[in-house]
Structure 1
Amino acid sequence: MSRSFPAIAALLALIPAAGHASEARGKSTPPAAKGCVEVSGTALTGMAGGPAYSAAELKCGTKLSLVLQRQTGRNGNLPAWSTIDEVAIVKPSPRHELLQPSYCSSSLFPQDMVFALGRMVEQPDGSYRSESVVKAWRVDIKRERLAAIPVDGLLCALDPAD
């Protein structure tokens, strides 16, 4: 039970962000490719006065990918989204997960939203910290792309109160 608790706690903590993102994207917008399922998603902060952005983790059969999307219009009351960048995700173990920007930061790119591929491990104080981070990407809104970054100086954390 203690091994699965960190994953469950991290997933439960992401529910508000993922729920908000699904609402922002609109449920009528299909995933980027036929047969793909959205595993998680998050609304991203764009440039003031610019278009809205979101990111989603998609599962297409056995393949996983992280996609960056830009709002390109409206479909009735729901926003319409277009995929503008995509990176493949290869998990080195089933315990690795895509860690969201609301919990991750990079000392090399302190102003950017960062996704990481790693594991969250419970600490003695009840908090969770990233471990075994193997890849990371920052959201480059100006260039509208996901840019790979070094994992040095990267930390994903979840406090007990979160």
Structure 2
Amino acid sequence: MGTCLRASLLLLLLLALENAAWGQPTTSAPAKQGSCDQYTNKTCQECLKNVTCLWCTSNKKCIDYPVRNILPPSSLCALSSARWGVCGVNFEALIITMSVVGGGIIIALCVCCCCCCRKKKSKKPDKDEEKAAREKEQRRVKQEERRAEMKSRHDEIRKKYGLFKEENPYAKFENN
């Protein structure tokens, strides 16, 4: 949860920088500690021009952001009322949004990793497939040996009974 909160603060900072890019200044001249009190009972935009300030919409107070805490304590301002960097986004909605987005990214990364691992495994021949191929080759070799042995036996039997068909028995006496 701590990582999510840090990420949400980072998002707030990015939103503040985005507002600066659109011509909405988020900072003014460097303010002194405690200078946020002067914007109390004014508008959120005026308070948040100074990034060290936190606007609480429930009591319209502009207070110094408690930098020692990641989130402002509820005694200072409720999360649903706290605004920092941008007036339109409260901490509560930001935490929920960042949790959902972060969870979605983590799930997407896990799915991608699983898919990549499966593809790599499928490219390499499986051990079972290799074993089956070796056994098939061994059976083929044994079959060839048996076939040759049977042929030689049959040839011997044919010779014994005179059934062996030689080319021409008189051909060896002819002179070419």
Per the normalisation by structure 2, the TM-score is 0.27
TM-score by length of 1: 0.29
Rg comparison, structure with higher value: 2
Which has the larger share of strand? 1
